[in-house]
Structure 1
Amino acid sequence: MTYLLIGSKLQLNEVVGINGRTKLLLAVICGVAVASVYAGQPVLGQMGLDLGVPVDTVGWFVAAGQLGYLVGLILLVPLGDLLDRRRLIVLHLVLVAAGLAIVAVAPAAWVAFVGLALAGVFAVVVQTAVAYATALSVPFERGRNLGIVTSGVVIGILGGRILAGFLADIWGWRSIYVVLAVLAAALALLVLILLPADIRSGGARYGVLLRSFAGLFTHPVFLSRGLIAFFLFASFGALWSGMALPLTDSPWHLSETQIGLFGIAGLAGALGAARAGRWADSGYANRVTGFALIVLLASWFAIGQLTWSLVLLILGVILLDFAVQAVHVSNQHILTTVYADRVSTTIGAYMVFYSLGSALGAAATTALYATAGWPGSAFLGAAFAAGGVVTWALSLRTATRATRPDYLREATLSR
């Protein structure tokens, strides 16, 4: 039970919110969906050799999924403000499974690119799941719940690397996509059984939602959060899409399984940022963003030492993934507070920046590695991080007005 003191009236409210089982299922959905886009990262070299793709362009195996993701963000995610989100989640998971199955049996590179792009288009089920969680959350627990559900994103990216490396060493890279396809199909069935329907009011038409989507890019708060996400995930992609190349080379000569184990360090960092949602609920979202972006920049000084120290690399990976999760949760908390009337559309538009940044990071780091080695890739990642810090600093005045939730201004909460 929660007491709300609003004005001079004391009200007693029964808070239902979102239960633990639902949060767990939504987090797993996010993890499997995003893994479908990133699972190829530790085995890019193996995929390239099998499908005849040269080393300087293997980053496109990840970028293809990201570009498909971009299309889905624009055309599919706004539907969450119009239709039953549970049905959308089911449909998208089924189509993710179909795309992954195509990749698993691809006889040529272009077929794999088509399958990855298809899986990427419908991997935007992540944003529909986040919007679903937001709709079920009471205001003062929104950040905490977002932190739990979106933790599935980072766990999917990094845990998928561990699984991918293990499976690739035993059965080859195709087995990764078989396993993920089965998981996506199984989750679609669980959603039908376990989640309640989420009927939209249907007040807006699809065309209106798309215009609203485009209109967000003129809003200062939205634009600043989006640009921060662009630099954040470009930096993230520069590490995780490029790291496998120097680790398989001299002096390390690591296997896919060993490279995948670096995902454990990333998971530790991401889970270390679990309190970011609670801090955002207390009105500190923008401070968390700034601190985490500085940590992101610092992490590249350690990551840049990969060619002679794996210990420093592990430290850098932990710091980088802590920063990414903390910024991502804080950004989404700010946006779902400011644009509470169109959560799906806003999250979809925000993730356009994520998709573009990730695709740029994945493609640019492998291209630069071919000419400048790991020092060049590390400089690129640090430059992206610096771009995020500068954007945050320039947007301080605008963001400060948006970081303190209305319920903290209008209500005194006690439990």
Structure 2
Amino acid sequence: MTNTATPGAARRTAHHEAAGTPGGAAPLSRGLLLLMSAATGLAVASNYFAQPLLDLLGRELRLGTTMAAMIATAAQVGYGLGLILLVPLGDLVERRRLAVVLYAATAGFLLVSATAPNGTLLLTGTLLTALTSVAAQVVVPYAATLADPAQRGRVVGTVMSGLMLGALLSRTVAGGLAGLGGWRTVYWVSAVLVAGVAVLLWRFLPPLHTPSGLPYPALLRSTVALFRHEPVLRWRAGIAALSLASFSVLWTAVTFLLAGPRYGWSEAAIGTLGLVGAVGAVATTVAGRLADRGHVQWVTGIGSAALAASWLPIGAGGAGGASIWWLLGGVVVLNVAHQAVLNSNQSVIYALRPEIRNRLNSALMTAFFAGGAAGSALAAVAWARGGWTAVSVLGGVTGCGMFVLWVLERRAARPTSS
């Protein structure tokens, strides 16, 4: 058996679940929900600012191509470490304090990047910023716990829409701020905003403490053990990993396509593609409402099928003589489907064992971002070896893999006849 919460903690959590609010705190207001949504977006955005600035950073700090590329890689590595090492702390310490400390640390590390005189210090600042920016993944289950159980899907969808908008729009914002005041302006502005969010969260978040009764090393072991003891988590982690893999295949390789001879877009124009992808953020709230009505499985199935199908117009958009509208339409469908599936995954996972939501979220999101890292790496190989056709096949295969996993999950969930 996996170590879980102590009986007293479990009883307190059960009481919180029944009441829909923690320990008699006020219900989750619209203003607090919007604050939490904005907070997740700002935290995650800090990990993507460097991507459109790599060429500029390389020139100003005299970095080689490999060193410049490592800045983007450091953000992925740091975030992955934070998911494993820091997010489970939400089941150990008081959550408001944890969230505020992580946001304050993120603001401080952004200042390190803003003042970095060389590539080594910028790389360090990026890694540490990403490590603590997993504060976003503390806020998401926090919101799920504060929410009325009948509205949990909608609440998670709203918070996740902020997270996804932060990830998608960060490239556009970074390019605009760098054009106005240089690349350091991006980090200065972000540091001020994240510090402001830390103050607001301390002021308005209600205290929430659901201790697991486990020491920190045992807490980490129990997080890993969840994959062994929770079959639904295994299915959903696989679906999540393939979803972000397909998503990352697109966003890693599309720059090469649009900057190449087929379209010849400028860097500024390529950055605006994030605005097209941001349309998909509306899917998270719609998917959340459907989950609240008991349709979470259909959201996953239809979303997986749509994501796989989106690669047909995406692939056509890279073919000679094809219209850019094929590509843009496919990008919208892929983003809508990806975010709907992510929301359905979280709705399913959060309903498993409410008393260990942070560890469940840590396990799910670690698999999620591992899939994204793999997708990015494979996209670069596919582009080098087979161009946009190979990229489209790779994206389509990962999308089909999601749908297959969902079908297998549904079959495994059917009761066996005696």
The match for 1:104 among 100, 103, 114 is: 114
- 8 Å Cα contact 2:160-2:284 kept in structure 1: no
Alpha-carbon offset, residue 217 of structure 1 = 1.1
Structure 1 residues 247-256 or 353-362, which shifts more? 247-256
Contact 1:269–1:318 at 8 Å: present in 2 too?
yes
1:255 to 261, 266, 269: 266
Structure 1 residue ranges without an equivalent (≥5): 1-11, 402-415
Please point out which of 40, 53, 77 is paired with 1:30: 40
- Equivalence for 2:93: 83
Judged with a 3 Å threshold, the aligned counterparts in structure 2 of structure 1 residues 86 and 60 are, in CA distance, closer, same or farther, namely same
From 183, 188, 207, the counterpart of 1:197: 207
Structure 1 position 66 matched with structure 2 position 49: no
Which residue in the other structure is 2:335 paired with?
Answer: 321
Secondary structure (helix, strand or coil) at the match of 1:198 reads coil
The 1:273–1:136 alpha-carbon spacing in structure 2 relative to 1, beyond 3 Å, is closer
- Alignment correspondent of 2:358: 344
Q: Does 1:164 pair with 2:174?
A: yes
Amino acid at match of 1:255: S
Q: Is this contact kept in 2: 1:165–1:258, CA < 8 A?
A: no
The CA deviation string for residues 243-291 of structure 1, in whole angstroms up to 9 with x for no partner, is 2233223243323332222122111122144210111112211111011
Q: Does 1:390 align with 2:388?
A: no
Hey, what does 1:243 align to over in structure 2? 254
Alignment of 1:129 onto 2:139: yes
- Quick one: distance in 2 between partners of 1:157 and 1:351? 15
Worse-matched range after superposition: 120-129 or 104-113? 104-113
- Secondary structure of the structure 2 residue equivalent to 1:38: coil
Q: Residues 370 and 48 of structure 1: is their aligned pair in 2 closer, same or farther, counting only changes over 3 Å?
A: farther
Match of 2:4 in 1: none
> Over residues 153-192 of structure 1, what are the superposed CA-to-partner deviations in whole Å (9 max), with x where a residue is unaligned?
1111112122123223334444333322222111111112
Unaligned 5+ residue runs, structure 2? 1-17
Q: What SS does the corresponding residue of 1:338 show, helix, strand or coil?
A: coil
SS in 1 for 2:285: coil
CA distance in 2, matches of 1:300, 1:240: 13
TM-score (norm: length of structure 1): 0.86
Alignment-derived partner of residue 185 in structure 1: 195
Report the CA distance between 1:323 and its aligned residue: 0.8
TM-score calculated relative to the size of structure 2: 0.85
Which stretch of structure 1 is more off in the superposition, 346-355 or 298-307?
A: 298-307
How far did 1:141 drift? 0.8
Match for residue 302 of structure 2? 291
- CA shift digits 1:118-143 (9 cap, x unpaired): 11111111111012111111211111
Change (3 A) 1:379 1:27: same
- The structure-2 alpha-carbon separation of the partners of 1:347 and 1:202, relative to structure 1 and needing over 3 Å to count, comes to closer
Hey, what's the Cα distance between the residues in 1 that align with 2:113 and 2:141? 29
Distance 1:314 1:278 in 2: 27
Give the equivalent residue in structure 2 for 1:374: 388
Which residue identity does 2:51 align to in structure 1? Answer: Q
- Counterpart contact for 1:294–1:389, Cα < 8 Å: yes
Percent identity at matched positions? Answer: 37
CA distance in 2: counterparts of 1:367 and 1:281, whole angstroms: 40
Q: Given the superposition, is the C-alpha separation of residues 224 and 49 from structure 1 closer, same or farther in structure 2, using an over 3 Å criterion?
A: farther
CA distance in 1, matches of 2:76, 2:104: 18
Q: 1:238 to 1:146 in 2, by over 3 A?
A: same
In structure 1, what is the Cα distance between the partners aligned to 2:19 and 2:108? 45
Aligned pair in 2 of structure 1 residues 258, 381: CA closer, same or farther (>3 Å)?
Answer: same
Aligned residue identity for 1:160 = S
**Alignment check: 8 A CA contact 2:141 2:358 kept:** yes
Q: What's the offset of the Cα at 1:108? A: 4.2
Q: Report the CA distance shift for 1:272/1:355 in structure 2 as closer, same or farther (over 3 A).
A: closer
Paired AA for residue 162 in structure 2: G
Match of 1:269 among 261, 280, 299: 280
The answer (yes or no) to whether the contact 1:31–1:157 under 8 Å persists in 2 is yes
Tell me how large the CA RMSD over aligned residues is: 2.5
Distance 1:331 1:242, change over 3 A: same
Q: After TM superposition, give the deviation of residue 45 of structure 1 in Å.
A: 4.4
Whether the 8 Å CA contact 1:168–1:257 is kept in 2: the answer is no
Indicate conservation of the 8 Å contact 2:158/2:284, yes or no.
no
Does residue 228 (structure 1) correspond to residue 232 (structure 2)? The answer is no
Query: In the aligned structure 1, how far is the partner of 2:251 from the partner of 2:54?
Result: 11
